[in-house]
Amino acid sequence: PDNNNILIFTENNGIYIYQKGKFFIWNNSRNISNSQLNKVIKTHDGNYVLGTIQNGIFILNNAGKEILHLNKNNGLQNNTILSLGEDKLNNIWVGTDKGIDLVDLKTPLKYYKDNSDKIGTLYDMEIENGLIYIGTNKGLFYSPKDKLNFKIIENTKGQVWELKKIDNTLFCGHNKGTFIVNGKKADKISEINGGWNLIPAPNNKNLLIQATYTGLSVYKKSKNKWQKAKHISGFDFPVNRIVFDSFGNLWATHPVKSIFKIKLNNTFDKVLDYNTYEQSENKELFYVKILNYKKKIYFKSENKYYSYNVKNDSIYKVKEKILGPFSDNVNNILYFDSLNIFYVYDQYILYKKQENTYKLDLELLPEIEEIKEFDNQFYFCLDNSFAVLDKDRVSTLNKNDYSFPQIYKIETLGDSISEILNIDEKVVLKPSQNNIKIYFTNRDYTQKPFYDYRFKGYSNQWNNLENKNNIQFYDLKKGNYKFEIKPRFSNRSTQLQIQILPHWYQRPFAIISGIFLFVALLYLFYILLERRFNKEKEKLEREKREQLERQYIKTQNKLLEKEILQKSKDLANASLNLARKNEILSEILEKLQKQNQLYEQGKKLKMFPIIQYIKRKMKAGDEWLVFENTFNEIHEEFFINFKKAHPEVTNADLKLAAMLKMDLSSKDIAPLMRISIRGVENKRYRLRKKLSLKPEIKLKDYVKKF
């Protein structure tokens, strides 16, 4: 239709075109007429999307021909269409009675989904003579390829393990045995349960070897017809995957544990020998997969890769990168040829086509991971569905800028959360805003977000980020950072510069001011230290002077003590000499008096003056005065202090105390006091009593204290 024509869409009576004043039927599809048309939009390429109440959406080209019909059977949540819209990526948004669906018309991936749960989980599929065959956990189904409507083939209900076309014959490995499929029928060719894996024998197109629940089976072709299977004797372990190597050895894996290397006879009906490998480098081998990568056999167990060492007859671990650049943590690697390799992960698949890599948001069945190639298309077995990839259109994947994440918000986390919505090439944050959460979004809603990110300045390592739209960083230091985020396995990233400003005390002016302040404080400290040093020096000098003075005084005191001691000795000697003099005079006087009594009267008169002279000298008190004066010079204030301490003592007591201080004995004191020794002892006793001394205290020691 052009500007001169008008299209008229009716609810239940089809579509008409008004042209040159007349109405013509533009599309008389009974499917559309009977589906109760509700909404219509025209797309950017001139096609029309029709939303119905009962049968999903129809897409017509500008000539009115139906090019696509989508409903609940092949992807929509619901058949009742309430609204339609087209976005900038030319995706069709469909509002249904149960939610919103997104239809990507440009994708090279097409889906078939069984919302009725009639067919079950897909394990394998094949295409032959215009029919699609799918093997599921519910049986073997078929459908015309151009109009999908699957029906089960009679007698095939149950678990289907494998569909394989060999020598123009379609084989179906089943829980109950093995069938040859011909059109809509399946004829059992083997009663041996569990047809897991069927492969041709090397260099013999008339023999097939099969892995089963009970070991190995062989099929022989005779007269252009495959005969009933026979069990291969000599090996009775269940095996689920088998492959021949270039030496003719058959490698097989146990469903749970171990690998077998099997040697068959020339007719392939007997096992001559086999080796079992249950571990490698002391690590148990569980749930082993066989990978035939670039015509070499590898084994995978628990995300580790292994190969066979012929010299040592052992299984050894190999580096992951030997199986390609994306083999880390991969579930399986499906190698079709050097130009077409699939790396199967938990939630997506990487398709390496020549030098390009494409991400497919497909989840294959764990441990099954089946992909088949038919007519330049790859078919993927999914849960309750399958997907088809057009190899010629795969380059349209990941070609628009909308598939790259866009950073749209930063939150600073603290006592309160603040948002920064104006995201330019660089965001400058305060020092207190060093805990941040960065938000990003994938504007291409047809792809699941699987990102890698790194935060330069914080960590230079790329990290995985799955099914999240934000990332948080805490306790960022001052400086410049660069946040990068990109789709996984892409070299192109979205970048954002982030600067955390320094605290005021970390800025150049503050640092310079701090340096000046530090120097000033250092100088002030030096001045104070110098003053303190000078004070300490003065104190030390003063103490030294005082010490010298004390030393001088001490020296003088010692000299005085020596002088006093010498004078005391002199006084004591003088006292002793005086005592001896008096004693001698007394003896002379006594002898003279005795002699005088014998003389006549005349001679007595002559001796009388001599006797009187001696008596006068002996009675003279000059000796005591000399003693007292000398004693006072030596022992200043002794008499004063002693008298003060004992006011009751007499002068005679003081004389006795002075002589005791001079360390004179009673014998020495008696002549000085002109009394007998006993008289001295009596005086000492009376003085001791006056002083009230205890028995254990010596009188002489007490007197010496004054």
> Would you state the pLDDT for residue 403?
66
Cα 78 vs. chain centroid, distance in angstroms? 47
Range(s) of the domain holding residue 88: 1-106
User: Would you place residue 21 in the very low, low, confident or very high pLDDT band (cuts 50, 70, 90)?
Assistant: confident
Residue 113's nearest CA partner among 152, 57, 74, 72 is 74
Q: At what angle do helices 622-634 and 666-673 cross, to 10 degrees?
A: 130
Report pLDDT digits (tens) over 420-478.
666 767 888 888 889 999 998 877 777 777 788 999 998 889 888 877 889 999 999 99
Do residues 456 and 494 both lie within one domain? yes
Say whether both 542 and 674 belong to one domain.
yes
Assigned token pair, 70: 């989508």
Q: Is the pLDDT of residue 48 over 60?
A: yes
| Segment 126-157, tens digit of pLDDT | 999 999 999 999 999 999 988 888 999 999 99
Could you tell me the two tokens for 112?
A: 């078939």
Domain end among 106, 126, 141: 106
Look at residue 123 and tell me if it is in a domain: no
Please state, in angstroms and rounded to a whole number, the distance separating the CA atoms of residues 463 and 454.
6
Our CA dihedral for 398, 402, 405, 411, rounded to 10 degrees, sits at -170
**Is residue 666 in some structural domain?**
yes
Ramachandran assignment for 589, one of left (phi > 0), alpha (psi -120 to 50 degrees), beta (any other) = alpha
The confidence score (pLDDT) of residue 54 equals 94
> What integer is the mean pLDDT of 80-101?
93
Partners of residue 297 on adjacent β-strands? 292
- Residue 634 has a pLDDT of 66
Q: Is a pLDDT exceeding 90 seen at residue 384?
A: no
Residue 381 has pLDDT above 90, yes or no: yes
Residues 501 and 538 in one domain: no
Q: Region 625-631: what's the mean pLDDT?
A: 66
Q: How far apart are CA 227 and CA 219, in angstroms?
A: 6
Do β-strands 479-487 and 470-473 pair in parallel, antiparallel, or remain unpaired?
A: unpaired
* CATH assignment at residue 499: 2.60.40.10
Give the up-direction half-sphere exposure of residue 235: CA atoms within 13 A in the CB hemisphere: 33
Asked whether 80 and 95 are in contact (CB, 8 A), the reply is no
pLDDT of residue 620: 47
CA dist., res. 126 & res. 171, Å (int): 10
CA distance 185 to 679: 164
215, β-bridge pairs:
212
Longest CA–CA separation in the chain, Å: 213
Residue closest to 611 by CA, chosen among 625, 622, 628, 599: 599
Beta carbons within 10 angstroms of residue 70's beta carbon: 21
Contact (Cβ atoms closer than 8 angstroms) between residue 43 and residue 92: yes
pTM of the model: 0.65
Clarify whether residues 87 and 229 are in a common domain: no
Show the 3-state SS of 588-602. Answer: HHHHHHHHHHHCCHH
Q: What is the DSSP string of 211-263?
A: EETTEEEEEEEETTEEPPPEEPBT-----SEEEE-TTSPEEEE-SSB-EEEEE
Q: Is 155 left (phi over 0), alpha (psi -120 to 50) or beta?
A: left
Query: 484 pairs with which residues across the strands?
Result: 454, 495
Position 126 scores a pLDDT of 96
Q: Is pLDDT of 501 > 80?
A: yes
Q: Is the domain of 574 the same as that of 477? A: no
CATH number for the domain that contains residue 67: 2.40.128
A 10 A CB-CB count for 302 gives: 10
Q: Are residues 501 and 539 in the same domain?
A: no
Ranked by mean pLDDT, the top range of 24-28, 115-119, 157-161, 608-612 is 157-161
Is 129 inside a domain boundary?
A: no
Same domain, yes or no: 477 and 566: no
Residues 502, 594 within the same domain? no
| Spatial CB neighbours of 52, under 8 Å, sequence gap ≥ 6 | 32, 35, 36, 37, 38, 58, 79, 81
3-state secondary structure 634-692: HCCCHHHHHHHHCCCCCHHHHHHHHHHHCCCCHHHHHHHHCCCHHHHHHHHHHHHHHHC
The residue that leads in pLDDT, 637 or 347, is 347
Question: Is position 333 within any domain?
Answer: no
The closest of 356, 305, 355 to 329, measured between CA atoms, is 305
- Cβ proximity of 172 and 162 under 8 Å: yes
Q: Say how far apart CA 517 and CA 510 lie, in whole Å.
A: 10
The pLDDT of 344-360, averaged and rounded, is: 86
Strand partners, 185: 182
Does 434 reside within a domain? yes
How far, in Å, are 431, 541, 544, 559 from residue 553 at the CA level? 72, 18, 14, 10
70-84, 132-146, 497-511, 644-658, range with greatest mean pLDDT: 132-146
Quote the pLDDT of residue 115: 74
CB 437 within 8 Å of CB 411:
yes
Structurally, the chain folds into a number of domains equal to 4
CATH number at residue 239: 2.130.10.10
CA 265, CA 410: separation in Å to the nearest integer?
A: 70
pLDDT by residue (tens digit) across 236-276?
999 999 999 989 999 999 999 899 999 999 999 999 999 99
pLDDT in tens, 593-626: 776 676 555 555 556 677 676 666 655 455 556 6
The strand pair at 385-390 and 406-412 is best described as unpaired
How many residues are listed for the chain in this entry? 706
Query: Is there a single domain that holds both residue 586 and residue 698?
Result: yes
Contact present, 175 and 159 (Cβ < 8 Å): yes
Report the distance separating Cα 101 and Cα 469, nearest Å: 21
**pLDDT above 80 for 666:** yes
Which pLDDT score, from 0 to 100, does residue 387 have?
A: 92
Give me 327's structure tokens.
Answer: 């083999």
Give the DSSP per-residue string, 156-184: --S-EEEEEEETTEEEEEETTEEEEEETT
Of 71, 106, 141, which residue constitutes the final position of a domain? 106
Cα 689 to Cα 683: distance, rounded to the nearest angstrom: 10
Last residue of a domain, one of 267, 300, 318: 318
pLDDT at 201: 95
571 and 463 in a common domain: no
Mean pLDDT confidence for 52-72: 91
Q: Give the mean pLDDT of 114-120.
A: 82
In which band, very low, low, confident or very high, does the pLDDT at 1 lie, cut at 50, 70 and 90? low
Are 290 and 228 part of one and the same domain?
yes
Rounded Cα distance, 212 and 336, in Å: 25
* pLDDT for the residue 565: 60
Q: What share of the chain is helix, strand, coil (3-state, %, to 5)?
A: 30, 40, 35
Question: pLDDT class for 671, splitting at 50, 70, 90?
Answer: confident
| pLDDT per residue as tens digits for the range 203-228 | 898 999 999 999 999 999 998 899 99
Average pLDDT of every residue of the chain: 85
Whether residue 561 has pLDDT greater than 80? no
Residue 524 lies inside a defined structural domain of this protein? no
**Domain shared by 464 and 573, yes or no:** no
